[in-house]
Amino acid sequence: MSEAISIDIWSDIACPWCYIGKRNLEKGLEAVAGDEDAPQVNITFHSFELSPDTPVDFDGDEIDFLAGHKGMPREQVEQMLSHVTGVAENAGLAYRFDLLQHTNTVKAHELLHFAKAQGLQHEMEERLMSAYFTEGKHVGRIDDLVELAVEVGLHPDDTREALVSARHLADVRQDQAQAQAYGIQGVPFFVIDGQYGISGAQPPAAFENVLRDLWAKRGDAEPEAAAV
pLDDT at 12 over 50: yes
pLDDT digits (tens, 9 = 90+) for 155-175: 999 999 999 999 999 999 999
Q: If 0-12 CB within 10 Å is exposed, 13-18 middle and 19+ buried, where does residue 33 land?
A: exposed
**For the chain, what are the domain ranges?**
5-221
Other Cβ atoms closer than 10 A to 7: 21
- Give the right CATH number for 5-221 from 3.30.1330.10, 3.40.30.10, 3.40.228.10, 3.30.300.30: 3.40.30.10
Q: Are 126 and 57 in contact (CB under 8 A)?
A: no
C-alpha closest to that of 107 among 39, 36, 22, 166: 166
Amino acid at 1: M
Which residues, 6+ apart, have CB-to-CB distance to 1 below 8 Å?
Answer: 40
**Mean pLDDT estimate for the chain:** 94
Q: If 0-12 CB within 10 Å is exposed, 13-18 middle and 19+ buried, where does residue 99 land?
A: middle
pLDDT digits (tens, 9 = 90+) for 25-84: 999 999 999 999 999 999 999 999 999 999 999 999 999 999 988 788 999 999 999 999
pTM metric for this prediction = 0.94
pLDDT digits (tens, 9 = 90+) for 108-129: 999 999 999 999 999 999 999 9
